[in-house]
């Protein structure tokens, strides 16, 4: 099983974790609420997990342009 992190804004792949030795508790995912899990996590047929996150580029852009939060739909 692998965990893929991708940016929810531009869809770039941020990273990948192989979960042979790491439990989900070690990822901090147990701290998410059910609603957050539904929003940020998804699984494919093979049981791989996908986590929506934010890449450095988008983070920088949002940090410098907080108004872009209002335009969140421009990418979805």
Residue numbers of the site for Zn ion (CB under 5 A)? 7, 9-10, 55, 58
Q: In the bound complex, what is the minimum distance in angstroms from residue 30's beta carbon to Zn ion?
A: 26
Nearer to Zn ion among residue 19 and residue 40 (C-beta): 40
The Cα 45–Cα 64 span in angstroms is: 38
Beta strands in 1-76 (DSSP E): 2-7, 13-18, 41-43, 49-53
Please state the closest distance from residue 13 (CB atom) to Zn ion, in A: 10
Closest separation in Å from C-beta 9 to Zn ion: 4
Radius of gyration of the chain, Cα coordinates, nearest whole angstrom: 14
Which residues does residue 49 pair with via DSSP β-bridges, in sequence order?
Answer: 3, 43
Cβ proximity to Zn ion, 22 vs 75, nearer residue: 75
């Amino acid at each position: 099983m692998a965990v893929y992190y991708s940016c929810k804004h531009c869809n770039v792949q941020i990273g990948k974790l192989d979960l042979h030795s790491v439990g989900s508790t070690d990822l901090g995912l147990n701290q998410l609420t059910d609603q957050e899990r539904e929003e940020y996590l998804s699984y494919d047929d093979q049981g791989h997990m996908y986590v929506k996150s934010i890449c450095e580029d988008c983070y920088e852009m949002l940090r410098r342009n907080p108004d872009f939060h209002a335009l969140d739909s421009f990418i979805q």
